[in-house]
Structure 1
Amino acid sequence: MTQTIPAGLRSWSMRWPEYTPADITPPELLPAALAHHVPDWAEGAATPADVHNWPLRQADALVPFQLDARGWPLHPQGRTGRTGRNLGKWAENAAADPIVVAGHGDDRRVLLITRDDIGVEAIPGGMCDPGETAPTTLARELREETGIDLSDHQPVILGRDLVDDWRNSDHAWVASTSALFVLPATVRAVAADDAVDAGWWPFGSLAELDAAISAAGRVLYGAHRPLLQRALDHLDRPQQAARPR
């Protein structure tokens, strides 16, 4: 997502007076529009200057971030080439991504949805509601998008990381808690909410998954590739030998 930014200039510590990021703010989040109506998925702050709880947001962040001289939040990984906001909140937007895997060996499958916003195959998941914990979001998003209820399962937390989301900007970005659910066999999945399709795909390797998705004329969401590879690494890790008593 940041391929237009030279590696040597991505860091905020590097001076770049000529830097002119593109504003990606949609019409409904521009100041004039927010003055009349705030969408239910967004906060009403027209700019980061209208946010007054930065110390709390910094303390609660999955990934630490700093503020610039104006008091505006800065993407933890540096310049993105984009400014403005196309997300619900300024700074970090916390999300949760449940990776559901079923079966073993050649029969191992992973559950993916087809996103209705960009039409690609992706992990089911979404943004945390205000006051909602990551485990609650994991179960809720999975149920809403696929009809599968794993609220009584204990997942393995794989990481809490920045996501290379297409909506990220210098001042608003996505960070996600990714977690692995392992089932003995596939269960019925029914697409709903933000998903237009849901199904199980071969998951012996990322290459195998890519091949299956490509053969179906579809595309895997690039931002989720690292999360899926982390799940594969965990699943393929040799089990520790039992300790002698």
Structure 2
Amino acid sequence: MSFLSRISSITGPLIAVRHMAKVNNCRLFNYQDGVKRFPVPEDKVSWSVDWPEYQPVDHTHPAVLRGPVWADLDFRKVTPDTPPKYNELDGNVDRKSYSGTYEIVNGLPRNPIGRTGMCGRGLLGRWGPNHAVDPIVSRWKRGEDGAKTMMEGKPVLEFVAIMRNDTRDWAIPGGMIDPGDTVSRTLRKEFGEEAMNSLEATEEEKKEIEAHVNDLFKAGDEVYSGYVDDIRNTDNSWMETVAMNFHDETGSTFNKIKLKAGDDAGDVCWMEASSKLNLYASHLDFIETVVKQRNAAW
């Protein structure tokens, strides 16, 4: 069964159409920190396929096991005072999935898309869904005369891209939603930190950045919300995101914004949207959706 079919069986056809990623990243043999996954062929991904020989590698990164504020306890070894409330809001930790209700097997969440070749949490902090945001900030590419750059009769779109320090991949600037925080506030915060380096700004600069970001993020269009085919996913922990497009039709707002890489970003730039790009995780799918919504060149 294809990735689109698996998504459709869980969430319905709307999400399936809007998510064009292949379920490949989360089955890469080499995990992000060098650990090897148990190989999972395409025809064995679905949990509905009987596979008694399946022996996923059990891996949780030491940084996660140290128990930072963004991570759960190892519920297999430690019994918490209050059991986690999966598939619902657990205090200020959102354990609900955009894909609907996920199964709990032997006391742990099961990846709703299928086998990944790894159990535990890998590099992710939460058992079950780990929620993130991806702000897609876009404008029209323009020449020195201010006219839109055209390609095959359609305008060319540009978006803000950052180079991730961990993988050195180009990506949409984004990040995890902290417990108790909102999607809207996290979108603003992550863009400010990664694309405008607000963490190292002076107090005066922070106020200026906040004003520009708030102006830019007044209104946006949802591109996608749901499961992400992320290289960090495991059988028990997986990434989900809300991708929003904030587009400046005239370019006037972005003239006030200075891009400067910060936090987890090694570089930042305005990147031309193109089908030839190689972006992190499912980010190219999100960009393609924006391009089609804006009727831009691809």
Quick check: TM above 0.5? Answer: yes
Distance 1:59 1:201, change over 3 A: closer
Matched ranges for 1:76-155 at <5 A = 76-85=112-121, 86-104=123-141, 105-106=148-149, 108-147=157-196, 149-152=212-215, 153-155=218-220
Give the distance between the partners of 2:97 and 2:258, measured in 1 at CA.
35
1:61 aligned to 93, 97, 111, which one? 97
- TM-score, normalised to structure 1's length? 0.81
Distance 1:169 1:65, change over 3 A: farther
One-letter amino acid of the structure 1 residue matched with residue 236 of structure 2:
H
Distance 1:176 1:222, change over 3 A: closer
Distance 1:69 1:120, change over 3 A: closer
Give the distance between the partners of 1:109 and 1:125, measured in 2 at CA.
17
1:52 match = 84
Give 3-state SS (helix, strand or coil) of 1:96's partner. strand
How far does residue 68 in structure 1 lie from its aligned partner after superposition?
3.7
Instruction: Summarize deviations over 1:127-183 as a string: whole Å, max 9, x none.
Output: 101111211111111111112643232111111021111110000000000000112
How far does residue 110 in structure 1 lie from its aligned partner after superposition?
1.0
Q: Which stretch shifts more, 57-66 or 183-192?
A: 57-66
Matched ranges for 1:8-23 at <5 A = 8-23=43-58
1:214 match = none
Q: Which stretch shifts more, 91-100 or 80-89?
A: 80-89
One-letter amino acid of the structure 1 residue matched with residue 192 of structure 2:
R
Give 3-state SS (helix, strand or coil) of 1:161's partner. strand
Give the distance between the partners of 1:157 and 1:22, measured in 2 at CA.
36
Q: Say whether 1:163 aligns with 2:228.
A: yes
Give the distance between the partners of 1:130 and 1:139, measured in 2 at CA.
16
Q: Say whether 1:228 aligns with 2:287.
A: yes
How far does residue 78 in structure 1 lie from its aligned partner after superposition?
0.7
Distance 1:198 1:47, change over 3 A: farther
Q: Say whether 1:206 aligns with 2:271.
A: no
One-letter amino acid of the structure 2 residue matched with residue 19 of structure 1:
Y
Answer yes or no: is the 8 Å Cα contact 1:65–1:75 preserved in 2: no
One-letter amino acid of the structure 2 residue matched with residue 132 of structure 1:
D
Give the distance between the partners of 2:102 and 2:259, measured in 1 at CA.
41
Instruction: Summarize deviations over 1:64-116 as a string: whole Å, max 9, x none.
Output: 24224413111111111111112121100111000011125425311100111
Give 3-state SS (helix, strand or coil) of 1:93's partner. strand
Matched residues, percent identical?
Answer: 33
State the aligned residue count: 220
Give 3-state SS (helix, strand or coil) of 1:52's partner. coil
1:189 aligned to 259, 262, 271, which one? 259
Give 3-state SS (helix, strand or coil) of 1:145's partner. helix
Distance 1:54 1:220, change over 3 A: closer
How far does residue 55 in structure 1 lie from its aligned partner after superposition?
4.1
Q: Say whether 1:177 aligns with 2:246.
A: no
Q: Which runs of 5+ in 1 are unaligned?
A: 211-218, 238-245
- Superposed CA RMSD: 2.3
One-letter amino acid of the structure 2 residue matched with residue 191 of structure 1:
A
